[in-house]
Structure 1
Amino acid sequence: MNSSVSTVAGKTIILGITGGIAAYKSATICSRLVQAGANVHVIMTESAAKFITPLTLQTLSRNPVLIDTFDERNPAVVTHIDLADRADLIIIAPATANTIAKLAGGFGDDMLSTTLLAATCPLIIAPAMNVHMYEHPAVVHNMEKLAERGALFLEPGTGQLACGYVAKGRLAEPEEIVEAVANWFARRNQLAGKKVIVTAGGTVERLDPVRYLTNDSSGKMGYAIAEAAYMMGADVTLISGRATIAPPAHVHTIQVESAEQMLEAVLEHFHQADIVVKAAAVADYRPVLQAKQKMKKTADQLTIELEKTTDILQTIGEQKKGQFLVGFAAETNNVEQYAMDKLRRKHCDLIVANDVSAEGVGFDVDTNVVQIYNAAGLVTTIPLMQKSSIATQLMEVVAACLTEKRRL
Structure 2
Amino acid sequence: MKTQVCIVGGGPAGLLLSHLLHLAGIESVILERRPRDHVLGRIRAGVLEWGSVKLLEEAGLGARMRKRGFVHEGTYLASQNRGFRIDFKARAGHPVMVYGQTEVTHDLYDARDAAGGVVIDRAEGVTLHGLPDTPHVTYVKDGTEHRVDCDYIAGCDGYHGVSRQAIPTSLLKTFEKVYPFGWLGVLTETRPVSDELIYANHGRGFALCSMRNEHLSRYYIQVPVDDPIGKWSDDAFWDELRRRIPHDAADRLETGASIEKSIAPLRSFVAEPMRWGRLFLAGDAAHIVPPTGAKGLNLAVSDVHYLSQALIAHYRDSADDLIEGYSDRALTRVWKAIRFSWWMTTLLHRFPDQTEFDQRLREVEMDYLEGSEAAQRSLAENYIGLPY
TM-score (ref. length: structure 2):
0.27
TM-score (ref. length: structure 1):
0.26
